[in-house]
Amino acid sequence: MSPILSSLLFLATAATPAPSRPEQLVEANVLGTHAFQVALARKEGKGDPACYSPGALTDAQLATLEAHQASLMKADVQAVRAWAEGKASTFDPKADLEPLLASGLALSDRLPVNVFTRWLASRAPASPVQVRAIASLFQTNLEVERDGDRLQELFDFYAGLGLPVYLGQLGLPGTDEAFLAMGRELEGKSCPSPVGTGAAEWQIAGRKNWNWGEKNLGIRDDKVLAAELLEEPDVKPLVPRIEALPAQRIAVIGHSFTMQLHWSTPGAFVPVVTAIFARENPKVEFRLFQGGGLTSTRAMSRFYAEVVAWKPQQVLLVVINRTDEDLESFRRLGRGLAEAGARVLTFDDVHDPKGTADGLRDRELAVARETGMTVIEVSRLLAAAPERDRFLCLDGIHMTEPYHRRMAKEWLKLLVGAREAALPGRQ
């Protein structure tokens, strides 16, 4: 049997015809991801050698396969789709596709991607290539270090080919409870791997796949949440104020709670508010300076000069302070941005479980007031919110949609002058 057919385990029978072009494209990605994971298993000393064997391939050859996958992701997806449909196309399968399919890498039945392929095929009324495309996304999804780049490329690639990218498109349920049940069924069926395959890891992979699928397809994202909020009774009356706000620049220096890329919510509060102004008053310009786990020290070194050069009228700081050095950087950010002419805002507490160290919380607020920052007091509102129990997402760190909806409302109200920085009754 040829290397191509041997890799197609989900189709492998003696009577199976040669894989279609869409099947070849999906399987090439499965092989590219597997090449990366084989190297990862060797590097970290994790994984069953029977499942993650490089065969005759060297580390350099594994890296070359992963590079072929990266190059395939950069191909013009419309040209790739035309080729897949048998139409005239500029796509050259010899460049990256065929080297992946001819790699000779073996895909054990017990690999997570094959375990998931069988599970999904037994539960979804879908074609083998549709099942395999989503299994390929889960395969990469389990690698938590590449979910912000390679995984997103795969979403775009498969969506461009007209393939489903998340479980909802196959009619499966999308609740956390359903994903946990899935995880319990899958747990223990894969060989030891360099990626987590416990029930909780499969559950999170399900939630990631669902939320990113809806985001990438525009089904539920920051723009959708913005449109919904604008129809809510406590936001709709603010539209005249939004429209009346003068042209200005607003910078946001923030950690992952401000970033749209994260999987925990369809839309983070900063992109949601940005989308509201893009609809109702595009004269107000937002620019985001962001990084996961962003401390004040990192913000000062990475973004301060660039923010000052952009000359914003307002700057929102959502940063972490864990050390005295961070606190001093927080002070420098506040003073420097104010001296540059910006109104500097920060929240009293965004309820980040891994945010500012508890021992520095009071000192942080003192520095904020000392340097003239506007402190937006939301902590008591968040703590008293009826939906408080649903704020924390499955990773125990980031926040879900209910949290970001509430934060978006409070920041929006402050921006348009519909609330004070302090909560009512605050002394």
DSSP 79-144: HHHHHHTT------TTTTHHHHHTS-----TTSHHHHHHHHHHTTS---HHHHHHHHHHHHHHT-T
Asked if the structure places residue 321 within a domain, the reply is yes
Residues 173 and 304 placed together within one structural domain of the fold:
no
Our measurement of the distance from residue 253's CA atom to the centroid of its chain's CA atoms, rounded to an integer in Å, reads 18
SS3 state at 344: strand
Residues 233 and 188 placed together within one structural domain of the fold:
no
Contact assessment for residue 182 and residue 122, using Cβ atoms and an 8 Å cutoff: no
Tell me which of 183, 201, 216 is where a domain ends: 216
Residues 209 and 233 placed together within one structural domain of the fold:
no
Average pLDDT rounded to a whole number, residues 128-138: 98
Residue range of the domain that includes 405: 222-415
Structure tokens at 264: 């925990």
Residues 47 and 14 placed together within one structural domain of the fold:
yes
Contact assessment for residue 266 and residue 401, using Cβ atoms and an 8 Å cutoff: yes
Provide the CATH number for the domain around residue 230: 3.40.50.1110
Structure tokens at 168: 């909802």
Residues 111 and 167 placed together within one structural domain of the fold:
yes
Per-residue pLDDT, 359: 86
- Read off the pLDDT of residues 160-215 as tens digits, 9 standing for 90 and up: 999 999 999 999 999 999 999 999 999 999 999 999 999 999 999 999 999 999 99
Contact assessment for residue 248 and residue 284, using Cβ atoms and an 8 Å cutoff: yes
Which residues touch 415 (CB under 8 Å, ≥6 apart)?
A: 245, 250, 273, 314
Residues 333 and 265 placed together within one structural domain of the fold:
yes
Tally of domains in the chain: 2
Asked if the structure places residue 399 within a domain, the reply is yes
- Read off the pLDDT of residues 27-83 as tens digits, 9 standing for 90 and up: 999 999 999 999 999 999 999 999 999 999 999 999 999 999 999 999 999 999 999
Residues 92 and 160 placed together within one structural domain of the fold:
yes
Residues 77 and 168 placed together within one structural domain of the fold:
yes
Residues 187 and 240 placed together within one structural domain of the fold:
no
CA distances (Å), origin 175, targets 168, 181, 182: 10, 10, 11
- Residues 11-14: contacts with CB under 8 Å, at least 24 apart: 11/128
Per-residue pLDDT, 394: 94
State percent of the chain over pLDDT 70: 95
Per-residue pLDDT, 83: 98
pLDDT band at 122 (very low <50, low <70, confident <90, very high): very high
Asked if the structure places residue 362 within a domain, the reply is yes
pLDDT band at 262 (very low <50, low <70, confident <90, very high): confident
Residues 181 and 313 placed together within one structural domain of the fold:
no
How would you classify the pairing of strands 314-318 and 343-347? parallel
Structure tokens at 420: 């004070």
Phi, psi of 69 (to 5 degrees): -65, -45
SS3 state at 376: strand
224 sits in which H/E element: helix 222-229
Q: Give dist(CA 275, CA 223) in Å, integer.
A: 6
Across the chain, mean pLDDT equals 93
Average pLDDT rounded to a whole number, residues 101-111: 96
